[in-house]
Structures are given as C-alpha cells and as structure tokens.
Amino acid sequence: PTNKFKQALAQRRPQFGLFMGLANPISAEILATCGYDFLLIDAEHGLNDTRCVQTQLQAMAPYPVQCLVRPASHDPALIKQILGTGVQTLLVPMVDTAEHARAIVSSMHYPPKGIRGVGTGLERGARWNAISDYFAKGAEELCLIVQIESRTALENLDEIAAVEGVDAVFIGPSDLAASLGYLGRVSHPDVKAAIEDALTRIASHGKAAGVFCADASLAASYQASGAHFVALGADTGLLRSAAIKLLDSVQPQ
Ligand code: 3PY
C-alpha cells in the first residue's frame, strides 16, 4: 500500500500527531477517530511490545490516520520484527551519527541494499504473502525518520540529514535538553534556540523536519522555524490532563 505519511512529508504538507504509550488497541482506535494526521506507537518508552504494536495497527487500519512506530533501539533484529507488523514509517530514537543512520537504513532493506531478513509468509507487512509484489515494491513505501536528541547528534546533524534513505529528521526536546545540561527544562531559551537552529539546518538539506512539542503556542513557533510535522503530546499526558481539568471544574478552588 502507498505510504501517505511519506507522501505528505515529501509534499511538505503540515502533519499533526500524537505519541501513544498506553499500549492498548482500544485507546489507539479511539484516537484514530479524532482526526489527527498521524499516531505514533511508542515502543521506546511506552509498554509496547511487538505483538501489541501489531494489534494497535490492526485496530487503526480502518481509519485514515497514518501509523508510525518508534522502536526501542537500532537493533536490526528488532527493526526486522517491527517492520514485520506492517508499519511503513519508523521513528528511530537516539541517532547520533551518519554511521548510525546508514546502519538503520540497511536494517530496513532486503539484500542487496541492506541486511533485512526475509520472513516468507510470516510478515503482516506482506499480508502473509497476499501482497504479491511486496518484496519488489514494499521497500519504496518505507519511510525513515531519524531522531536527533543529543549534543553529539546536533554536531553531526548535517551529515545525518544527508544520508540517503533518511526521509526526515525529528527532534526529541526532552533528551536534547538533558544532553545540553537542561534536564526537564524543554522550554529553556537555550534549548528552544538549539531546536530552532536544528529545524532550519534540516530543511536546508531538503529533508522534512519534525519535533515533539506538547505546548501549542511553542508548536506554532517551531512550525514557523521550519517544522513540517509536530507531535502535540502523548495519550498518557492527555488522559491525565483531561481528568485533572474535569475534577477542577467541579471543585471550588
Ligand atoms: C524527547 O523529547 O526526547 C522525545 O523523545 C520525544 O518525546
């Protein structure tokens, strides 16, 4: 199937999404009804194992939302399993060098381009071989977003963004803030300035740029600096903030 998220990035159409850490196909389906452009199943910090990733993809399949997965690591064995669930777009965390990025591209592709193993008849991506041209054409629809979230990654950003097979670069403000010496202070002016500079550099390489930003007004300013896709928060945080807001509305302050 065509990867509509990859197309949207290539056409620089603004995309808004959410991260999902609840690891639940019901909450994933509820969010799929809400009109976001993309929903990302987070297996780095959320409790999403590969089986749970696949059941959420199945739950969201009837809806037009685009599904992304963030694997826990760069491990080629893990990337092979995650791609086997049928997800076409990966956001890979903690990419610090062009060498890391090239290794991830290799993990996502079958030989001769890469080292991905062939799961004959065992992969949902190929719909268990119901998609007859999956091996010939499936790779064209894969989309790789590498995540920049350290001082080292910022230093290597130009080389990372230039790697062939990297479709987009996404900034993780929490880890970047920590690496820059501002743990827990994602809105600090130095962190914001570093993010804005990175967004501009990514765009100058002709790659789409993205960022996680749970503050809507800051998200608008990151868009103005060149962010094409923004994750506006996570299901866990939204559940908590909605529950607190409701209780506050009936309790005298
Ligand atoms: C970060 O902010 O570090 C992320 O990975 C996105 O939540």
Q: Return the residue whose CA atom lies nearest to atom 4 of ligand 1.
A: 172
Tally of structural domains, the chain: 1
Q: Does any ligand 1 atom lie closer than 6 A to the CB of residue 44?
A: no
* Domain CATH code at residue 165: 3.20.20.60
Q: What's the pLDDT tens digit per position in 194-222?
A: 999 999 999 999 999 999 999 999 999 99
Give 139-181 pLDDT, tens digit per residue: 889 999 999 999 999 999 999 999 999 999 999 999 999 999 9
The reported pTM is 0.96
Range of the domain at 234: 4-250
Q: How many A from CA of 175 to the centre of ligand 1?
A: 6
CA gap 204, 192 in Å, rounded: 19
ipTM for the assembly: 0.96
45 in active site? yes
Alpha helix stretches (DSSP H) within 19-156: 25-32, 50-60, 76-84, 98-108, 134-137, 151-155
Q: Looking at ligand 1, which atom is closest to the CA of residue 175?
A: 3
Percentage of residues in the chain with pLDDT exceeding 90? 93
Q: How far is the CA of 118 from the centre of ligand 1 (A)?
A: 32
Question: Is the omega angle on the peptide bond into residue 76 within 30 degrees of 0, that is, cis?
Answer: no
Could you report the per-residue pLDDT of 106-117, keeping only the tens digit for each? Answer: 999 999 999 999
pLDDT at 90 over 90: yes
Q: CB neighbours of 3 closer than 8 A, spacing ≥ 6?
A: 66, 88, 89, 141, 142, 143
